[in-house]
Amino acid sequence: MTSGLPVEADWQRLSPRMLLVHPVHEVLRQIPVIVGTLVLGTATGNPLLAFAVLAVTVAIGLARWFTTTYRIGSEDVALRTGILQRKLLSVPRNRIRSVSTEARLLHRLLGLTVVRVGTGQEARGDAVFALDAVPAEQVGRLRAVLLADSLAADAEQPSAPGRVLARWTPSWLRYSPLSFTGLAMIAAAVGVVYQVGAQGAVRDSDVARSGLAVAERFGLAASIAVAALAILAASVVLSVLQSLLSYGNLELRRDFEVLHLKHGLVRVREHTFDMRRLRGGTLREPLLVRLFGGARLDAVMTGVGGEGEASLLLPPCPKHTAEAVLTDLIERRDAVSGPLRTHGPVATRRRWTRALVLPAVLAAALLVAPTPVWVWLPWAVLTAGCALLAVDRARSLGHRVGDGWLVARAGSLQRRRDCIQASGIIGWTVRQTWMQRRAGVATLVAATAAGVKHYQVIDVPADLAWSIAADASPWVADTKWACAGPELR
């Protein structure tokens, strides 16, 4: 074994430098409680209450280091945590699928890194196996031990240059405001203010009084417009700043059969994936990002969750960059950017029907109830928007089967193109709702152990569903389900 990480080692503690980190993190985590007790203490004439809560919080942070130990064995890795309630988390080493690292600013200043182990199962809270924190100089050795073969080979040849697949550029920031992250941050800040009971102080502040005076001077409509523009500008700034801090200096590199992703300015994160577990990729194209020629790339990989940051390979970036990276990874250009087979007029009609239901209901209500003429103008705008949505959804729908790959595309507001290796598909399901049965279409679901575990080909002609499955997975043709008539399916 590698020096410094012995197998069957005794229980070890994390770096004592964490005594400087844990109290800070505990205080930051409990800020709403501390602020709330400060407000309560001031109102009741007992300001020492907030200091007592702060002292208890710091003590808990210090105790966290003394009560946390870990062990790396030949069969598993184990972590013991808990102050009042002791917990033991053990992960078999043959179940480890990914290793990711994270270093916040304070960790980096102290030369520490948080190491997280992934097993392919969604883990939250106490179920997450995280070593917070490992000395930075030991991370490479620890990663090699945990991921074994492919990473061990990589660790033994540290001087071998990797092949960079993509690097972050400042131009990617133009996609940041299109995600509405800034608005979510503003809403979260407002929620915190109400949670700690500080809305009264904000309402009585000089800024609030000045705002009310300006609103009375210029009128309600103008004030609302200015406030909306101010919120929009703040949202754009926050979105760009968040994207810059999260994905700045991003580098996606491939070394042999290992994929390395590193990104972040203040909080540096690094994910390491075994390419042998890659089963494809997903191009995500939200409507606004797509209008500006962008896309996000997620990995479809066994042992890695298919949603959120766990599967992220590239954040919103130029679509040609995401397509080029996915083509490089799966070596199937047609699967990534080739034409798709449409699902026919019935599927198109269903897109139009769903899109125009709301305008039709509103039109009926407007005809029955007496309404002014000007109300029909927003109705016309809504109807036009729904019609454009139907056109886009119908145009986006399609699939492709061939060369050992299944490709499925669907959606408009959140369009996605899933490229799935057919050899990784372990089961097929044909689903039909009552409306689909009447229309003669079905949804074909491919089950796999990778990504989100199931990928859908929506509204294909029912008589072709099992043929598509058989084209992708020849073993389907040998089953009675592939040979049965439509009445048995």
Which of 130, 147, 164 finishes a domain? Answer: 147
Task: Let me know if residue 92 belongs to a domain.
Answer: yes
Q: Whose structure tokens read 């790339």?
A: 297
What SS3 class is residue 316?
Answer: strand
Task: Let me know if residue 280 belongs to a domain.
Answer: no
Task: Let me know if residue 250 belongs to a domain.
Answer: no
Give, for all 489 residues of the chain, the pLDDT tens digit.
Answer: 333 444 445 788 888 888 888 888 788 777 777 777 766 666 666 767 777 878 888 888 888 888 888 888 878 888 888 877 888 888 887 777 778 888 888 888 888 888 888 776 655 666 678 888 788 888 878 887 777 644 444 444 444 456 899 999 999 999 988 877 767 777 777 776 666 555 555 566 566 666 666 666 777 677 777 778 888 888 888 889 989 999 999 999 988 778 889 998 888 888 888 788 889 999 999 999 999 999 999 999 887 766 667 788 999 999 999 999 999 999 899 999 999 999 999 999 999 999 999 999 999 988 888 778 888 899 999 999 999 999 999 999 999 998 889 999 999 989 999 999 998 899 999 999 999 999 999 999 999 988 888 999 999 999 999 999 999 888 887 664 544 544 444
Rounded Cα distance between 380 and 376, Å, is 6
Which helix (H) or strand (E) segment holds residue 364: the answer is helix 344-368
Which of 147, 176, 202 finishes a domain? Answer: 147
Judging by beta carbons within 10 Å of its beta carbon (0-12, 13-18, 19+), is residue 27 exposed, middle or buried?
middle
Count the Cβ atoms, other than its own, within 10 Å of residue 81: 17
Residue 296 tokens read as 């996000």
Task: Let me know if residue 62 belongs to a domain.
Answer: yes
DSSP 38-105: HHHHHHHT-THHHHHHHHHHHHHHHHHHHT-EEEE-SSEEEEEE-SSS-EEEEEEGGG--EEEEEE-H
ω before 450 within 30° of 0 (cis)? no
Domain that holds residue 350: 339-488
DSSP 8-state assignment for residue 119 = -
Instruction: Report the largest interatomic distance among the alpha carbons of the chain, rounded to a whole angstrom.
Output: 82
What SS3 class is residue 153?
Answer: helix
pLDDT at residue number 230: 83
pLDDT at residue number 153: 46
pLDDT at residue number 140: 79
Task: Let me know if residue 172 belongs to a domain.
Answer: no
pLDDT at residue number 313: 93
* Backbone φ, ψ for residue 146 (5° rounding): -75, -35
* Backbone φ, ψ for residue 58 (5° rounding): -65, -40
Domain containing residue 75: CATH number:
2.30.29
pLDDT at residue number 6: 44
Residue 465 tokens read as 């569903």
pLDDT at residue number 3: 37
ω before 470 within 30° of 0 (cis)? no
How many domains is the chain built from? 2
Residue whose C-alpha is closest to residue 329's, from 212, 82, 163: 163
Rounded Cα distance between 147 and 152, Å, is 7
Question: Which residues are 386's β-sheet partners?
Answer: none
Task: Let me know if residue 199 belongs to a domain.
Answer: no
- Taking the whole predicted model, whether its pTM rises above 0.85 is answered as no
Which of 102, 129, 147 finishes a domain? Answer: 147
Task: Let me know if residue 472 belongs to a domain.
Answer: yes
Count the Cβ atoms, other than its own, within 10 Å of residue 154: 21
Question: Which residues are 414's β-sheet partners?
Answer: 286
Task: Let me know if residue 478 belongs to a domain.
Answer: yes
Q: Which residues of 389-411 are buried (b: 16+ CB within 10 A; e: fewer)?
A: bbebbbebbbbbbeeebbbbbbb
Distance of CA 421 to the CA centre of its chain: 22
Rounded Cα distance between 311 and 324, Å, is 18
